[in-house]
Chains A and B, each alone.
Chain A
Amino acid sequence: MDSDRWERVQALFHAAADLRAPEQVAYLRRECGDDQDLVREVSALLAGDSTETLLDRNLGQLAHDVLAPGIPVALRHQLFGPYRITGVLGEGGMGVVYLARRDDLGSAAAIKILRDALLSPSRRDRFASEQRTLAHLNHPGIARLYDANTLPDGTPWFVMEYVEGQPLTDYCASHRSTINERLQLFRAICEAVQYAHLHLVIHRDLKPSNLFVKPDGSIKLLDFGIAKQLDNVDDPVDQTRTGLRFMTPAYASPEQIRGERMGIHSDIYSLGVVLYELLVGRLPFDLSNRTPGEAATIIAEREPEKPSVAARRMAYLPGSDLRTVSASKAAWADLDMLCLTAMHKAPERRYRTVEALIRDVDHYLSGEPLEARPDRWSYRVGKFTRRNWEAVTAALVVLIVVIGLVAFYTVRLARARNVAVAEAARTQRIQSFMLRLFAGGDEEAGPSDSLRVVDLLDRGVQEARALDAEPLVQAELYQTLGGIYQLQGNLDRSDSLLRASLDQRRRLLGGDNADVAANLVALGGLRLEQASYEEAETLIRQGLAMTKVHLAADHPAIAAATAALGEVLVNRGEYAKAIPILEEAVRLEAAKGDTTPDLSNAVTLLANAHYYQGEYAISDSINQDVLRIDRHLYGAHHPSVGADLLNLGAIQMDWGHYADAERYYREALESMRAWFGDDHPETASALTSLSRAIVSQGRPDEAVGMLQRALAIQERVYGPVHPRVASALNELGRVAQQQGRLDQAEADYSRMVRIYQQIYRDNHYLIGVALSNLAGVYVDRKQYTKAELMFRDVIQRYSKTLDPDHQLMGIARVRLGRTLLLDRRYPEAATESLAGYDILHKQGEPPATWMERARRDLVAEYDSLGQPEQSSRFRAELADSSAARR
């Protein structure tokens, strides 16, 4: 057909098009005459005019169909580990998911191959190591990652558990799930996410198509952490675009849209959107027909309609299958709060952890009030401006202070044992026994040479075994020797002797008498030292109750057992419970009218309990008294005096007076060394404390040798899993960190975490302290997200185990603030720093160094936020405090 003919055909077509069919035929016959081809051509056009064609289809749909993948030839014979691709499962924003089978076992898996995501060779190692982390996620609600690697060209692929089921929203719709059923599913999802967060993995792409409900109603989360790989992708074109082009904007948090660092709070936001969709039946924002730019603005700025309002409106739409609107008005108010707290624009105003979100879901389900609170005015202020940022060039060596950790374990031991020895010595028969032991030696010089003491003890045990004719004396000797072995650090020997003594007495005297009670308390003391606190508390409570039955109220054994109970409670971190019990112990001891070692012991424990409560001034003054008492009782070089000096040093450390602390510690070391010799755990602990003060004054090289010696001693005496070993590791880690040996620091701190976790079963603030130190290493490595996650975990642990205003909580938030500051997330950083500052400010004795740090961070943060009034407030405080120091 040529142009002229085409013009003619068109003219006829237009003329005929608006006629009715019979008239069209007549018209064409008239106009075309004999030209049957022309009739055919115009008729074809008329037929085409009323036919659906490709041109009537939506181009987006067409593009999808055309671009949707089959199995590319190149992949058909490719092996992915033992798997081979057999079909296509679907396609997501990041790539294509294939069905795969193992040739050998026939088992199925899903293989995801990222699109447009080449990894350069240099990044593939890191990719592999990150996949190993993901492969360790082992939770019934998380699809396992079996394997991952890159194709020869660098395209990453992942072999994952193949999950059959329905996406969450489809499942709820097709099952017409009730509001509570939806929340139960949501809760299960949260638990899986929480598990991953505890393993420092963020999902980054939570959305219903990644949340599967299996036919049995259990949930399975797909693609955990895979979105992170997009950070590693080589994309020279436009870095900020990289994340955007893969994600699903509808579920992405404002910070994600802005291309900022993501953290657990980003997952929490996405969970909020998922919850919104579950409750309402549609997404919070309609982003269809929006440009990505418009979508970003909406997500960053527009407040979503309340779920309650939106759900009511949705319910009127035809075909709505929602059963959620049936909830009461009060229930909806809570659901609004839950959802909108999770989805808050400001990350710091969201639930801090998924666990907190779960708690509120539980509160809702059981009809209790939620923990989430509406926004306060102060949080609504603040559009985020980012001008005036001057790089913070200050040295950012984050110093680690483990509050009282070292002093904690050095104080309590020597004292109780001295008491045990003294008690034993009071007994006439024991005295003569001791004299026989020492016969031929220089009695006075006894304890100063530890080797010989060991010889003497071994001889003593032999002598005691020979005393079969006097089984009760034998039992008493066993107990005494057990106490001395404990003092020597030979805990296994002590254990077997104390148990032998207990068995013997029970056999001879029955189970309920003062001697058995004394034995129970002694064994409790050993368990205390072995860090089996629960058993220690049980034994001592049992012993104390039994003692009270058999002995008069003013008997020293009752005072001693009461003090022992207080000590166990201090060790378990129950300071508030310990203080009244220790005050009772002090009262009982003081009632005797003398200045005795027992009184000194009880008062010391009381000082410690106050110390751990953060009441340093009280603790300091009590400790000064104890030091005077002990010098009076024991002279200058005695473990008790050493212990007092260690406590006083610890308080100086907390005040940031490191040089004063060092003086106390050197004196303490001298006392311990003089008494125990060089190779003893007490000496080791004193060494550890001293090195801490030295490191704090910026002399790490001086400290390393001391610390390694201390660690070796502690490991030998206490075995690899003991708080003292952890304490030594803490110091070594800290020094390594200060010297920039970050791998060593990470290894030391990680081991410390594991030790505490083994001892305390995941529920003690010391685990938080250890994690906090580990997080500091990640800060040094500029792995801010990792550090942030860890600090948030720490804060959560503290909130379970400590008072909300506890000093450690303040320090943790200051450290989190610093991390966020380094990550240039100023608004969140300011929130954390300020919260930490407020907590520290409330302390009776705010720790000076941390206050200083918080102020400095706040100045930087408010400067960056363009809030000069606030920053000048803290600048002024900084000036004041430095003036005060001068």
Chain B
Amino acid sequence: MVSSEPDPTPDLERDDPTGPARDELDRLFSLAYEELRRLAASVRRGDPGCSVTPTVLVNEAWIKLANSPHFAVESKLHFKRIAARAMRQILVEAARRRNADKRGGGMAVVTFDDALEMGASTPDDVLALHAALEELAGINPRQAQMVECRFFGGLDIPETAALLDISEATVLRDWRAARAWLASQLRPK
């Protein structure tokens, strides 16, 4: 995005305790957030020679941050969980901004290319997914976290299992149900 429009500071709702631990997590989150935002620039490219997956992004962010002296995190897995959350936050903010742009300026006449119009409903989808995940977190926090890690963080099944300390079979089961539920929530009513 054009830099004349500064990004707001992340204000994600936190599910962690208060005190020093929370400060530490805040800091980690900010670092991951900044780094991912930077890396997301490469996702935004349309070039064929430059297809970057979220897994790659998160890995790169990890490599970069893990070498930073200010960055103390017990494991890469732990970091990936933070990164997944940061990625979700980035996309949600971008989607909100897109919608604000679309509605706020009162500009009815903007000549978009057809091709560019294609993804125009995506911001709403992202916001809908975000809202549904929030609701899922109220019903089953573990499943919400699982979706966040797998979808936004690119964690695979063994990683997710290890992170949540459950079996891979449980991951598969939980995922399928969560996915089905989210799909039912996201479908146009």
Contact = CB atoms under 8 A, between A and B. Distances in A.
B56 to A, nearest CB: 5
B113 A88 contact: yes
A64 interface: yes
A289 B56 contact: yes
B119 A74 contact: no
Query: Which among A13, A67, A245 has the greatest number of chain B C-beta atoms within 10 A?
Result: A67
Interface stretch (A111-119, A121-129, A867-875): A111-119
Contacts of A209: 46-47
Contact of B4 (A17, A75, A250): A75
Given A88-B112, A155-B3, A6 B122 contact: no
Interface stretch (B22-30, B71-79, B90-98): B90-98
B53 A3 contact: no
Contacts of B100: 73
B38 to A, nearest CB: 6
Interface string B94-127: 1100101110110100111100101100110110
Given A44-B184, A48-B187, A87-B112, A70 B101 contact: yes
Interface string B1-38: 11111000000000000000000000000000000001
Contacts of A876: none
A46 B129 CA distance: 18
A287 B56 CA distance: 12
B149 interface: no
Contacts of B185: 48
B66 interface: no
Given A45-B181, A49-B176, A75-B2, A250 B139 contact: no
A115 B1 CA distance: 6
B164 interface: no
B138 to A, nearest CB: 9
A54 B129 contact: yes
A162 to B, nearest CB: 14
A297 interface: no
B52 interface: yes
B59 interface: yes
A664 B177 CA distance: 99
Contacts of B59: 291
Nearest to B101: A70
A293 interface: yes
Interface in B32-70: 38-54, 56, 59-60, 63-64
Contact of A60 (B3, B54, B94, B112): B54
A134 B110 CA distance: 31
A194 B47 CA distance: 25
Contact of A54 (B94, B112, B186): B186
Nearest to B38: A245
A69 B110 CA distance: 12
Interface stretch (A90-98, A428-436, A566-574, A631-639): A90-98
B167 interface: no
B2 A250 contact: no
A250 B112 contact: no
A62 B122 contact: yes
B91 A66 contact: yes
Interface string A235-251: 00110010001101111
Nearest to B154: A59
A116 B38 contact: yes
Contacts of A64: 43-44, 46, 119
Given A55-B147, A93-B50, A207-B47, A46 B3 contact: no
Contacts of A117: 3
B156 to A, nearest CB: 14
Contacts of A87: 110-113
B171 interface: no
Contacts of B47: 92-93, 207, 209, 248, 250
Interface in A11-69: 13-14, 17, 44-49, 51, 53-55, 58-60, 62-69
A288 B55 CA distance: 12
Given A48-B187, A115-B2, A290-B56, A92 B151 contact: no
Nearest to B109: A86
Contacts of B123: 66
A67 B44 contact: yes
Contact of B53 (A59, A118, A245): A59
A66 B54 CA distance: 14
Contact of B46 (A59, A70, A91, A288): A91
Report, as a range, how many residues of chain A touch the other chain: 35 or more
B3 A115 contact: yes
A699 B75 CA distance: 67
A48 B180 contact: yes
A45 B2 contact: no
B182 interface: yes
Contact of B107 (A63, A69, A76): A76
A152 interface: yes
Interface string A270-312: 0000000000000100011111110000000000000000000
Nearest to B92: A66
B1 A291 contact: no
A245 B2 contact: no
Interface in A561-579: none
Nearest to B36: A63
B42 A113 contact: no
A509 interface: no
A694 to B, nearest CB: 56
B134 to A, nearest CB: 14
Contact of A65 (B48, B102, B119): B119
A90 B110 contact: no
A53 B140 contact: no
Interface string A397-412: 0000000000000000
Contacts of A76: 105, 107
Given A13-B177, A75-B2, A91 B44 contact: yes
Contacts of A49: 176, 179-180, 183
A395 interface: no
A207 B50 CA distance: 12
B61 to A, nearest CB: 10
Nearest to A58: B53
A564 to B, nearest CB: 63
B184 A45 contact: yes
A469 interface: no
Query: Which among A45, A66, A70 has the greatest number of chain B C-beta atoms within 10 A?
Result: A66
Contacts of A92: 45-47
A250 B50 CA distance: 7
Query: Which among A14, A65, A152 has the greatest number of chain B C-beta atoms within 10 A?
Result: A65
A791 B186 CA distance: 64
A76 B16 CA distance: 41
Nearest to B115: A90
A10 interface: yes
Interface string A158-176: 0000000000000000000
A288 B60 CA distance: 14
A117 B128 CA distance: 32
B109 to A, nearest CB: 9
A246 B151 CA distance: 26
21 contacts: A45-B180, A48-B179, A48-B185, A53-B179, A53-B186, A54-B128, A59-B87, A60-B52, A65-B118, A68-B44, A73-B104, A88-B113, A113-B2, A153-B4, A207-B49, A209-B47, A245-B39, A248-B50, A249-B49, A289-B53, A291-B59
In the A-B complex, the 4 residue pairs with the smallest Cβ-Cβ separation, listed nearest first, are A250-B49, A65-B119, A48-B183, A48-B184
Interface of B: 1-5, 38-54, 56, 59-60, 63-64, 87, 91, 94-95, 98, 100-102, 104-105, 107, 110-113, 116, 118-119, 122-123, 125-126, 128-129, 139-140, 147, 151-152, 154, 173, 176-177, 179-187
Given A66-B91, A70-B98, 20 more contacts: A14-B177, A48-B185, A48-B187, A51-B187, A54-B128, A55-B147, A55-B183, A60-B54, A63-B40, A63-B91, A66-B95, A66-B122, A72-B2, A72-B5, A113-B2, A115-B41, A207-B49, A248-B47, A248-B50, A289-B53
